[in-house]
Structure 1
Amino acid sequence: MAQGRGSARGTGSGSTAAALALVLLCALLRGEFAESAVYTVGDRGGWSFNTAIWPNGKRFRAGDVLVFRYDARAHNVVPVSAAGYSSCSAPGGARAC
């Protein structure tokens, strides 16, 4: 019996440490999410061709989320490289999102 109690204590300490580690991990993750921000590109007006000044005064950080609202009947979203962006062209076989 004494051996069984010793094992139970060992397991309890491990469980307590695991629970404490989980609580600390959750606190760290929550802090990271609390610092991230969600931006709607173009603010209330949404995405348009005149959003060049929209980022002025904003400080974007890793983890921030940019939301693009646009009329899907008139526009689409295609991932492109910097060169594709500059030339306003998508690579062959690119799929619109």
Structure 2
Amino acid sequence: MDSWPRGKRFRAGDVLVFKYNPLEHNVVVNAAGYNGCSTPRGSRVLTSGKDRLTLARGRNYFICSSVGHCQSGMKMAIVAA
């Protein structure tokens, strides 16, 4: 998942759609927890299974906080111009 953004161009205001089984996954939006695959207090945690997120200018970080998922590569950093 970490390689999906490579070669793609993103702009602030673009909308990413995350579709997943909410019984197995989630989407955590937080830069502080990206490298360590953690969910710091105050993180935005989405659990609908059909989340729409608008990219902000700069770096946007997303992980799955289900046990072992982020550590196995379920994380993504996207840079929006």
Normalised to the residue count of structure 1, the TM-score between the two structures is 0.38
Q: Which gives a bigger RCO, structure 1 or 2 (Cα 8 Å, sep 6+)?
A: 2
Which protein is richer in helix relative to its size? 1
Between structure 1 and structure 2, the one with the greater Rg is 1
Which protein is richer in strand relative to its size? 2
Normalised to the residue count of structure 2, the TM-score between the two structures is 0.43
